[in-house]
Amino acid sequence: DGRLWNLVGFQTNLKWGEQKRVLRMIPGLENAEFVRFGVMHRNTFLEAPQLLDPTLQFRSRPTLLAAGQITGTEGYAAAVAGGWLAGTNAARLAQGLEPINLPATTMSGALTHFIAEAPSEKFQPMPPNFGLLPELPERIRDKRRRYGAYRDRALEDLAPFCEKALVAA
């Protein structure tokens, strides 16, 4: 009802008294009542390059799959995509079918290939980003055209997966 306000993503190592002091310096918050202060959190993640294939299967136990931020991906879209891939591959394995390994030219494929193939000694979680995609054959300076070229290549590389899915259905 408009009496509580939340600072989303306010992660800090500042002690609560110091947070109160600093926040009270903001005009309009001089007399604010603080219900809860920010705290630092650390996400837990697997050493994916040592454990997972790009299909999100555990190398040592292929019938076990992982998904979400624990795999070393970051962000809601990546979590949804990883959940879809792990769930789809679990269903395919249960049906005696080969798991899907998405092309590295797609964003989801680039991300799953990254977590499976990154150097493991300094592995850190990664959000989806264009830097994960293989370079285009030609350099395109115009951002709109470059992103369109990434899209077109990804769709072309996904076409065989779509055709397989139609035949299987």
Alpha carbon of 141 to those of 93, 106, 107, 151: distances in Å?
43, 20, 20, 16
- pLDDT number for residue 8: 67
| Local mean pLDDT, 10-residue blocks, the chain (169 residues) | 70 88 92 83 87 97 95 92 96 94 96 94 91 95 96 96 67
- pLDDT number for residue 168: 60
Token pair recorded at residue 102: 């998405």
- Which residues sit opposite 57 in a β-bridge? 65
Asked if residue 89 lies in contact with residue 56, where contact means CB atoms within 8 angstroms, the answer is yes
- 3-state percent breakdown (helix, strand, coil) of the chain, nearest 5: 45, 5, 50
Rounded to the nearest 10 degrees, what angle do helices 107-117 and 76-94 cross at? Answer: 80
- pLDDT number for residue 149: 97
What is the full DSSP assignment across 82-112? HHHHHHHHHHHHHTTPPPP---TTSHHHHHH
How many angstroms separate the CA atoms of 131 and 69, rounded?
Answer: 19
